[in-house]
Structure 1
Amino acid sequence: MPSAIAHKYHDEIADVGFTVIRQFLTPEEIAKYKEASATVVEYAREGKWPYVRTRGKQFPPWPKNFSPDIWGVSGLLHPDLGGMSDPFHECYSSDKMLAVVSDILQVDKKGLSMELFNMLINPLSNFGLDWHRDTIKPEATEEEEAEQLLHEPYAGAQFNLALTEDSCLIVVPGSHKRVRTAEERIKTSNDDRKEYITNQLVVELHPGDLVFYNNNILHRAEYCCENTRLTLHGSYGHTDHGRSRAKGILQHGVAEWLPRFQPKDKNMESLKDNLVRLAKEFESVDLGYALEG
């Protein structure tokens, strides 16, 4: 009989909305991925990589204006990165990473789908992201919010993997399983959308630390230009719930280069095959964007 899937990380996310795994990476892995990341960041800041997140804009689509003042680099698995993407293939499809995701989504790794793998970095001038939930619009009514929060909460798993000191992510613990309070509704909908919210928590990560979080926990981020940030940021999907993930994933254009993507191991091959099936299901469908801004 196969052993039962562990559920420690699943239970922690169910309770507070996130789970932190300290020293997930070895010192050798940190050094390897940090060097690979710095190379890609330099390549992007020089205007040689169009898939970047430009400071001042929070959600896709991002302009392809090749400004060096960026807060993210997208498409770490994109075939056009060539050999620069090899270390990221290894990281994303590693057995130890997929074991955590299997725990969170309560499915064997064969039931996991490739989604996104990007990088969050320090912009050249300070920048803050608004309070948001990733797939629920801020103007949603209480009834709409309650319904959407209950809809397939374990369809996917989202993470930040720090390669440098990182205190950018701010969350409101427990907010992933309830509608917003009166205070939260005001502060996620007003002109500022960056004000302090009662019980907010800064997720402090050290190099090699990993946080997975429910993407509908209330969260935002503060990007300081003076502190080097190299944080790998991505997600995985549960194949049984792909339809609920399609808009949030395919809005980033992954289906455009997926046919040219060459997996480098069996894990990645399985992850790709599952995403290919989802992309084909929504081929020629205009899904739009999950959020705006």
Structure 2
Amino acid sequence: MTQLTPQHTLLSDAERASFREHGYLIRKLLDDASIGRYVAAVEEARRERGDVQRMSNLQFLQPGKAIRGIQDIICNEEILAVCRDLLGDNIIVDGASLFYGEAGVDYRQGWHRDVLQVPDEQIDLSWFSEDYHYNYVQMNMPLTTDGCLWIVPGSHRRQLDAQERAVFGNTEKMAPVDAPELSNGKQILLQPGEAVFYNNYAVHRGWGGVLKDKRITIHMGFHSAQYPPTLHFGVLDHTEYSLDYLSSLAPCVREALRAHLVERARHPEVNVFHAYHQQFLKQEFKTT
């Protein structure tokens, strides 16, 4: 996929160092025309489906749930360039969701690390350390103003501190929604077209309270084929990508998903985590 367009870098050494230290990075990547096109595509897809849900999390690369008008964002060269700067060459898309929420929706999650789908006995505390090479990055790209991501900077590089442990209790996964605030928690306020790239092992949450305005945010995950996968690779449900479905897609989207399939075939060891994640999607955070 990344060979289709000339590769270039976007980030300075200081920006890459800041990402490693703090666990997140913000970049303006979409222009107003692209934002408008994607918003229109989302609203058109909802009308065509007769979707009246006030809040949904739609896996927009999956057959039956596809939003064709936004799929080409996975081919956006600026996004891929940032991911290469953070992870390495040969970026593979892995994870693509659309978060949609009407004004007035109450949106609250507890503080967590993204190991929610992993059985407790398989969580390795070395994952949360300076030495661990986590070959994955998540990205939120809002099409409307979005302040729903909160993060504890630097928490991906260490185990839970005393205040975090008090709210998490005896789990590494998730604190109760009504747990006390974390004094080091930082709200990431994004304008339309700004993207936040973040290490999802950092302590973070989605929290908007009662939304004052509509929320439309594209969420994606990326992996570098230059390095072995870590447990988050395998989010997309590759089992649904039939030849007929792939042939129906725009060329760049088709090639991106083919690259994903090739990488999945190279790493059958992630199948167990893929199964955990699919089970998690159905049971923990309901999706449509």
TM-score norm. by structure 1 comes to 0.75
Structure 1 residue 258: deviation in Å?
Answer: 5.4
The DSSP-based 3-state class of the residue aligned with 1:116 is strand
Structure 1 residue 257: deviation in Å?
Answer: 2.7
Q: 1:131 & 1:81 partners in 2: Cα distance? A: 28
Q: 1:162 & 1:116 partners in 2: Cα distance? A: 16
Alignment match, 1:20:
26
Alignment match, 1:128:
108
Structure 1 residue 92: deviation in Å?
Answer: 1.4
2:78 to 93, 96, 101: 96
Q: Which runs of 4+ in 1 moved over 6 A?
A: 136-141
Q: 2:240 & 2:167 partners in 1: Cα distance? A: 37
Equivalent residues of 2:58, 2:65 under 8 A apart: no
Equivalent residues of 2:234, 2:270 under 8 A apart: no
Q: Are the structure 2 counterparts of residues 219 and 93 from structure 1 closer, same or farther at C-alpha, using a change threshold of 3 Å?
A: same
Matched letter for residue 214 of structure 2: T
Alignment match, 1:239:
225
Q: Are the structure 2 counterparts of residues 205 and 4 from structure 1 closer, same or farther at C-alpha, using a change threshold of 3 Å?
A: closer
Q: Are the structure 2 counterparts of residues 133 and 258 from structure 1 closer, same or farther at C-alpha, using a change threshold of 3 Å?
A: farther
Matched letter for residue 144 of structure 1: D
Equivalent residues of 1:251, 1:289 under 8 A apart: no
Alignment match, 1:116:
95
Q: Are the structure 2 counterparts of residues 184 and 164 from structure 1 closer, same or farther at C-alpha, using a change threshold of 3 Å?
A: same
Q: 2:49 & 2:7 partners in 1: Cα distance? A: 44
Matched letter for residue 107 of structure 2: F
Percent identical residues: 19
Alignment match, 2:51:
46
Structure 1 residue 151: deviation in Å?
Answer: 3.5
Structure 1 residue 80: deviation in Å?
Answer: 3.5
Q: 2:270 & 2:24 partners in 1: Cα distance? A: 35
Equivalent residues of 2:136, 2:233 under 8 A apart: no
How many residues are matched?
260
Alignment match, 2:160:
180
Q: Are the structure 2 counterparts of residues 284 and 188 from structure 1 closer, same or farther at C-alpha, using a change threshold of 3 Å?
A: closer
The DSSP-based 3-state class of the residue aligned with 1:207 is coil
Matched letter for residue 95 of structure 2: L
| Map 1:223-234 → 2, pairs under 5 A | 223=208, 224-234=210-220
Please tell me the root mean square deviation across aligned C-alpha atoms, in Å. Answer: 3.3
Matched letter for residue 26 of structure 2: V
Equivalent residues of 1:138, 1:188 under 8 A apart: no
2:241 to 257, 275, 290: 257
Alignment match, 1:199:
184
Alignment match, 1:289:
276
Kindly provide the CA deviation profile for residues 164-195 of structure 1, in whole angstroms up to 9, marking residues without a partner as x.
Answer: 01010110011111111011122123544643
Structure 1 residue 41: deviation in Å?
Answer: 4.1
Kindly provide the CA deviation profile for residues 176-223 of structure 1, in whole angstroms up to 9, marking residues without a partner as x.
Answer: 111110111221235446431021110000111111001111100114
Equivalent residues of 1:45, 1:70 under 8 A apart: no
Structure 1 residue 243: deviation in Å?
Answer: 3.7
Q: 1:3 & 1:284 partners in 2: Cα distance? A: 28
Matched letter for residue 205 of structure 2: R
Kindly provide the CA deviation profile for residues 32-56 of structure 1, in whole angstroms up to 9, marking residues without a partner as x.
Answer: 0111122334556727xxxxxxxxx
Alignment match, 1:166:
146
Equivalent residues of 2:151, 2:203 under 8 A apart: yes
The DSSP-based 3-state class of the residue aligned with 1:131 is coil
Structure 1 residue 117: deviation in Å?
Answer: 1.3
Equivalent residues of 1:10, 1:106 under 8 A apart: no
Structure 1 residue 13: deviation in Å?
Answer: 1.4
Q: Are the structure 2 counterparts of residues 37 and 187 from structure 1 closer, same or farther at C-alpha, using a change threshold of 3 Å?
A: same
Alignment match, 1:72:
57
TM-score norm. by structure 2 comes to 0.76
Q: 1:42 & 1:244 partners in 2: Cα distance? A: 38
1:152 to 130, 133, 137: 133
Q: Are the structure 2 counterparts of residues 138 and 279 from structure 1 closer, same or farther at C-alpha, using a change threshold of 3 Å?
A: closer
Equivalent residues of 2:156, 2:202 under 8 A apart: yes
The DSSP-based 3-state class of the residue aligned with 1:135 is coil
Kindly provide the CA deviation profile for residues 228-261 of structure 1, in whole angstroms up to 9, marking residues without a partner as x.
Answer: 000111111111445424xx35355343235432
The DSSP-based 3-state class of the residue aligned with 2:241 is helix
The DSSP-based 3-state class of the residue aligned with 1:184 is helix
